[in-house]
C-alpha cells in the first residue's frame, strides 16, 4: 500500500480546545465535565478513521501572568484540567479501533506508576494505548507537585531518558507468552518468563518485578513532542509517534530531517516513526463557507488569552513589562519553558530583544493563527503538499471548537483524502500498533 497519512485528534480534558476562547464559540458543547462530551468526540474521530485521540496535559492552570489565577478563571483560559486518563477511558468504552493517547509527566510521576498505569490502559483498551512523554515546563506545575520551581530544560530530558529505561524495562518484564493459566496443572505463569528490573541509576531506583503482563500490542505506543536540540534527540531515541509544531514546509522538513538523523544515531529505523505536524483546520463544504467560519472564529480570542499562555509557555511574567518594552538579555535568558517559542520569535522579529507585543504578534498562542481554511479541495491540497513533501507523515488536528470542528473535518476533508489515496479507508487491525504499521515489539528491542 502507498504511504498513508496518520491522523491524530488533539484533545483536552478541559473547558476549551487548543483555542482557549473556543468555549465561547456558539456551537461549542458546554458539558465538558460529563463523559457524553468526550464520547461524542470519540465517535466522530472513529467514524473518520483517526488513528489516535490524544490528550494534552498540564498539571496547573495558567497563572504565571501577573502571578495570579483571576484572569485565567474569569476568561476560562484552560482553567479546568481534569486527569486525562480517566476522561480517555470513557472514550475507550464507546470505541473499538480508535487509539487512545494521553500525556503524562516524567517530571512529577514515578516511572513505576506511569508504567503500570499505561500498561493497564493498554490491556483495558485491547492494545490501543499510547503515552505522550513530556518533561513538564512551568513553575505552576512544580508548585502543585511539591517543588519550588520547574527543573532546568536539559536536565529534565536527562531524567526523562532514565525514566524511559525504567518504563520500557518494566514493560519488558513479562514475555508475551508468560501466562499459562492452566487450572489442571495449577500453573498460572512461567517464572522463567517474568524478570525483575533492579534499576538503580542516577535519578531513579525501581526494583520490580512489574505487576502487569503484556498487552495485545506488546506495550503502549510512545509519543513525544520535543522541538529543541535536546528534545529532538530524546524524541529520536524513544518516540514512535512524534508531534512537530512546524507550521510550514521549510521548518517541517528541517525537523523531519533532524528527527530522522537522531533516530538513525540512536540505531533506530526512522521509517517506523510517524512525524505528525500540529495543524488547525477550518473546513466546510465550500471555500466561501469556511472563510465565513474563520471570520467568526477570529472574533473570539482576547489579548489576555495570548499573554496568559505565553507567560505559562516560557515561564516568564510578561505583566512585569510594558507591551512595547524590549525584553532584556537577562529576561530572555531566564525563559525556561518551551524555548522554541522564544527562539522562533527572535528569529521571526529579526530582533535580538523582542517586545511582549512581538511575542503576541509572532506566536500563535491563544489564537487561531495558521489555520488551514477551505473546502475539501483546499484543505486536502495543503495536507497533501506537506505530506508528499515530507514535512510530516501525518497530522495532529487541533479543533477550533468541539465536536463541530472534527465533524467538519470528517465530513469534508477525510473523504477527499481517501479519494486521493492518501488516507486509509478503514483500520488495519484492532491494535494501535497495527494501524500505525508498527511491528510488535520484542523484549529489549529499545536498548
Ligand atoms: C502537538 C504538541 C503537543 C504537546 N503537548 C504537551 C502537553 O500535553 N503537555 C506538555 O507539558 N507539553 C506538551 N508539548 C510540549 C512538548 O512536550 C515540548 O516541551 C515542546 O514542544 C518544546 O520542546 P522542548 O521540550 O524540546 O523545548 C506539546 C508539543 C506539541 C508540539
- Residues of the chain with pLDDT > 70, as a percent, come to 100
- Which residue's C-alpha comes closest to atom 5 of ligand 1? 56
8 Å CB contact between 16 and 61: no
Mean pLDDT rounded to a whole number for the chain:
95
Question: Does ligand 1 have an atom closer than 6 angstroms to the CB of 56?
Answer: yes
- Residue 245 contacts residue 340 (beta carbons within 8 Å): yes
**Residue-level pLDDT at 1:** 64
Is the beta carbon of 45 within 6 A of some atom in ligand 1?
no
Nearest residue by C-alpha to atom 31 in ligand 1:
245
304: CA distance to ligand 1 center in Å? 22
Could you give the CA distance from residue 346 to residue 128 in angstroms, rounded to a whole number? 40
Task: Name the residue at shortest CA distance from atom 20 of ligand 1.
Answer: 226
Kindly give the number of the ligand 1 atom that is closest to the alpha carbon of 105.
Answer: 11
The stretch 301-312 carries a mean pLDDT of: 93
pLDDT digits (tens, 9 = 90+) for 18-70: 999 999 999 999 999 999 999 999 999 999 999 999 999 999 999 989 999 99
Residue 254 CA to ligand 1 center (angstroms) comes to 18
Ligand 1 atom at shortest distance from the alpha carbon of 231:
26
Handedness of CA 423, 426, 431, 437 (dihedral sign): negative
User: What distance in angstroms lies between residue 104's CA and the mean position of ligand 1's atoms?
Assistant: 11
With a 6 A CB cut-off, is 141 part of the ligand 1 pocket? no
Exposure string of 213-235, with b = 16+ CB inside 10 Å and e = fewer, is bbbbbbbbbbbbbbbeebbbbbb
Q: Is the pLDDT of residue 159 over 80?
A: yes
Sign of CA dihedral 120, 125, 128, 129: negative
Please state the atom number of ligand 1 nearest to the C-alpha of residue 396.
1
pLDDT for the residue 186? 98
How does pLDDT run across 228-258, given as a tens digit for each residue? 899 999 999 999 999 998 778 999 999 999 9
Whether pLDDT at 266 is above 90: yes
- Average pLDDT of the residues in 364-373: 90
Q: Is the pLDDT of residue 389 over 90?
A: yes
Specify the 3-state DSSP secondary structure of 147: coil
What mean pLDDT comes out for the span 186-215?
A: 98
Identify the pLDDT of residue 138: 74
Cα distance between residue 141 and residue 60, in whole Å:
5
User: What's the CA-to-centroid distance between 312 and ligand 1, angstroms?
Assistant: 12
10 Å Cβ neighbour count for 350?
8
Q: What separation in Å is there between the alpha carbon of 147 and the centre of ligand 1? A: 21
Whether 150 shows a pLDDT value over 80: the answer reads no
Least confident window among 195-209, 361-375, 431-445 = 361-375
Our answer on whether the CB atom of 14 is closer than 6 Å to any ligand 1 atom is no
Residue 246 confidence (pLDDT): 77
More confident position, 431 or 364: 431
Q: Which of 131, 160, 338, 341, when mutated, tests ligand 1's pocket best, judged by the most ligand atoms within 8 Å of its CB?
A: 338
Query: Does ligand 1 have an atom closer than 6 angstroms to the CB of 243?
Result: yes
- Under the banding of pLDDT at 50, 70 and 90, the label for residue 114 is very high
Amino acid at each position: 500500500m502507498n504511504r498513508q497519512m496518520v491522523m491524530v485528534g488533539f484533545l483536552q480534558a478541559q473547558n476549551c480546545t487548543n483555542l482557549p476562547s473556543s468555549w465561547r464559540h456558539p456551537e461549542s458543547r458546554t458539558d465538558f465535565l460529563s463523559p457524553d462530551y468526550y464520547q461524542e468526540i470519540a465517535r466522530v474521530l472513529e467514524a473518520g478513521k483517526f488513528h489516535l485521540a490524544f490528550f494534552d496535559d498540564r498539571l496547573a492552570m495558567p497563572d504565571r501572568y501577573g502571578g495570579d489565577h483571576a484572569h485565567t478563571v474569569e476568561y476560562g483560559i484552560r482553567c479546568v484540567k481534569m486527569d486525562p486518563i480517566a476522561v480517555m477511558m470513557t472514550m475507550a468504552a464507546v470505541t473499538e479501533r480508535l487509539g487512545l493517547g494521553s500525556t503524562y509527566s516524567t517530571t512529577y510521576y514515578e516511572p513505576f506508576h506511569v508504567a503500570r498505569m499505561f500498561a493497564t490502559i493498554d490491556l483495558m483498551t485491547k492494545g490501543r494505548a499510547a503515552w505522550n512523554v513530556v518533561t513538564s515546563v512551568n513553575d505552576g506545575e512544580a508548585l502543585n507537585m511539591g517543588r519550588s520551581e520547574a527543573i532546568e530544560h536539559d536536565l529534565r530530558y536527562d531524567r526523562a531518558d532514565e525514566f524511559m529505561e525504567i518504563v520500557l524495562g518494566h514493560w519488558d518484564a513479562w514475555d508475551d507468552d508468560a501466562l499459562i493459566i492452566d487450572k489442571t496443572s495449577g500453573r498460572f505463569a512461567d517464572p522463567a518468563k517474568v524478570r525483575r528490573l533492579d534499576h538503580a541509576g542516577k535519578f531513579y531506583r525501581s526494583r520490580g518485578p512489574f505487576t502487569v503482563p503484556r498487552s495485545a500490542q506488546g506495550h503502549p505506543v510512545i509519543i513525544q513532542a520535543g522541538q529543541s536540540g535536546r528534545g529532538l534527540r530524546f524524541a529520536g531515541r524513544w518516540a514512535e509517534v512524534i508531534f512537530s509544531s512546524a507550521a510550514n514546509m521549510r521548518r517541517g522538513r528541517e525537523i523531519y530531517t533532524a528527527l530522522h538523523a537522531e533516530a538513525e544515531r540512536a540505531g533506530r529505523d526512522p521509517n517506523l516513526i510517524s512525524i505528525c505536524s500540529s495543524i488547525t483546520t477550518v473546513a466546510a463544504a465550500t471555500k466561501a463557507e469556511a472563510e465565513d467560519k474563520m471570520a467568526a472564529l477570529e472574533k473570539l480570542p482576547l489579548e489576555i488569552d495570548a499573554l496568559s499562555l505565553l507567560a505559562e509557555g516560557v515561564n516568564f511574567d510578561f505583566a512585569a513589562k510594558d507591551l512595547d518594552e524590549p525584553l532584556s538579555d537577562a529576561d530572555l535568558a531566564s525563559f525556561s519553558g518551551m524555548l522554541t517559542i522564544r527562539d522562533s520569535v527572535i528569529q521571526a522579529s529579526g530582533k535580538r530583544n523582542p517586545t511582549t507585543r512581538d511575542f503576541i504578534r509572532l506566536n500563535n498562542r491563544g489564537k487561531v493563527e495558521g489555520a488551514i481554511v477551505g473546502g475539501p479541495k483546499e484543505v486536502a491540497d495543503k495536507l497533501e503538499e506537506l505530506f508528499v513533501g515530507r514535512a510530516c507523515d501525518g497530522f495532529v488536528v487541533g479543533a477550533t471548537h468541539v465536536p463541530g470542528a472534527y465533524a467538519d473535518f470528517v465530513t469534508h476533508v477525510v473523504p477527499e483524502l481517501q479519494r486521493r489515496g492518501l488516507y486509509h479507508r478503514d483500520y488495519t487491525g484492532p491494535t494501535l500498533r497495527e494501524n500505525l504499521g508498527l511491528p510488535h515489539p520484542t523484549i529489549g528491542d529499545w536498548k
